[in-house]
Amino acid sequence: MTPRRDRAAFPAQVGTLPTPSLIVDAEALEDNIATMAAALPGGRLRPHVKAHKCTSLARRQASAGHQGFACATIRECEGMAAAGLGGDLLLANEVLDASRLGALVREGVQLTVAVDSPETIDAAVAGGVRRVLIDVNVGLPRCGCAPDRAGELARSARRRGLEVRGVMGYEGHVVGLEDAADRGERCRVAMELLMAAHRDVGGEVISAGGTGTYACNVWASEIQAGSYALMDVAYSKLDLPFRPALFVLATVVSSNGEWAVADAGLKALGMDRGKPQIEGAKVWFCSDEHTTFAPSRPVGELVRLVPGHVDPTMSYHERLHLYSGDEVIGTWPIDLRGW
């Protein structure tokens, strides 16, 4: 990276940003979006906005042909709708208070919510949501009904006047497996459960998948991938045609012959999948506002950290700076944070 001492001379350059800053390599981002759009064009991909929480980035995905989006929170649905991207939103999580979703529906937003229990069906009806997917557990111990209960829930939902568009089932226990053959085989097993549930439920939608299974999951009608656009250390271990586009820019604020310390730490990085990486260096550990790494680099030098996990990293930052070469070419608000 450009040393910080050059910053004054190049006011529109990466070196002028305060640190820590979240930056994205615009070319890598565009390549990742284009690669995915070629593999899963149009409605075959339902980009998951939880990975970036940024309507400006979602708009690039829409420009690449994807009109439907998956959201993880009510706030994400509200923000997407406000940005004019509410043509086909799926809240791919269960909620017990759907009143804010119902308000969106009354404003004309096309919205579907996941349900996996009588209580969540009740909540959809009470809140004024009209469309649901039956969320099916396909092996990840999280939400979703047992596959053999999906038909009964669908009948119950239809009796309550809801449109059941189909099923959803996230093979989250599979998407991160590094061995591609193992990933493919376990994806097949998971999707057999989902297809069985779909036979009982009906509807045109079979929503599943993620960045790790976007290619091998040939059963789902649409893939909910999000991380592919920005990538992270965890997904970079897989054999995927996407490259790291997201970095936390930091300044070396202290150094000696043995190690250096950059001014980005636990409050700038999602840490649940491990430490960030720095090219050409070994990261020792992160503290609240610091990352210690070796070999040492001079005080004032800029470094780029690749986050271990993209999603919780985005949630720490207010904005994302796009860069090309050394030039900052845009700044996007990360406007879907919170709940």
Per CB under 8 A, residues contacting its own copies are: 4, 18-20, 50, 72-73, 93-97, 116-117, 119-120, 141-144, 146, 172, 251, 253-256, 258-259, 261, 263, 266-267, 270-272, 284, 286-290, 292, 299-300, 309, 311-312, 315-316, 318, 338-339
d(CA 159, CA 155): 6
Provide the minimum distance between the beta carbon of 74 and its own copies in the complex, in angstroms, as a whole number.
9
Q: Which two tokens stand for residue 48?
A: 């998951």
Q: At its nearest, how many Å lie between its own copies and the CB of residue 41? A: 26
Looking at the Cβ atoms of 32 and 291, the one nearer to its own copies is 291
Whichever of 220 and 249 has its CB closer to its own copies, that residue is 249
CB closer to its own copies out of 20 and 151: 20
Tokens of 129: 């949501």
> In the numeric block, which tokens belong to residue 300?
């004032």
How far apart, in whole angstroms, are the C-alpha atoms of residue 266 and residue 256? 22
Region of 264 on the Ramachandran plot (φ > 0 left; ψ -120 to 50 alpha; else beta): beta
Which of residues 37 and 164 has its CB atom nearest to its own copies in the complex? 164
CB nearer its own copies, residue 13 or residue 292: 292
- Give all strands (DSSP E) within 7-153, no chain letters: 21-25, 69-71, 89-91, 111-115, 131-135
State which residue, 8 or 181, has the beta carbon closest to its own copies: 8
Least Å from the CB of residue 306 to its own copies: 16
The structure tokens 């700044």 sit at 331
Kind of pairing, strands 222-223 and 327-333? unpaired
Shortest Å, Cβ 150 to its own copies: 13
Q: What is the CA radius of gyration of the chain?
A: 21
Q: Give the nearest distance from C-beta 18 to its own copies in angstroms.
A: 6
Q: What is the DSSP letter of 160?
A: T
Nearest distance, CB of residue 27 and its own copies, angstroms: 26
Output 64 or 197, the one with its CB closest to its own copies: 197
CA distance 257 to 325: 30
Give residue 244's identity as a one-letter amino acid code. P
Closest alpha carbon to 220 in 234, 231, 205, 230: 205
Is the CB of residue 337 less than 8 Å from the CB of residue 315?
yes
Q: Which is nearer to its own copies, 64 or 226 (CB)?
A: 226
CB atoms within 10 A of CB 106: 9
Report the nearest approach of its own copies to the CB of residue 229 (Å).
Answer: 15
Of the candidates 189, 127, 197, 188, the one whose C-alpha atom is nearest the C-alpha of residue 166 is 197
Q: Which is nearer to its own copies, 64 or 223 (CB)?
A: 223
Cis ω on the peptide bond leading into residue 11 (within 30° of 0)? no
* Residue 314: both structure tokens together: 């985005």
Spatial contact of 23 and 304, defined as CB atoms under 8 Å apart: yes
Q: Are the CB atoms for 248 and 277 separated by under 8 Å? A: no
Minimum Å gap between C-beta 45 and its own copies is: 19
Nearest distance in Å: CB 119, its own copies: 4
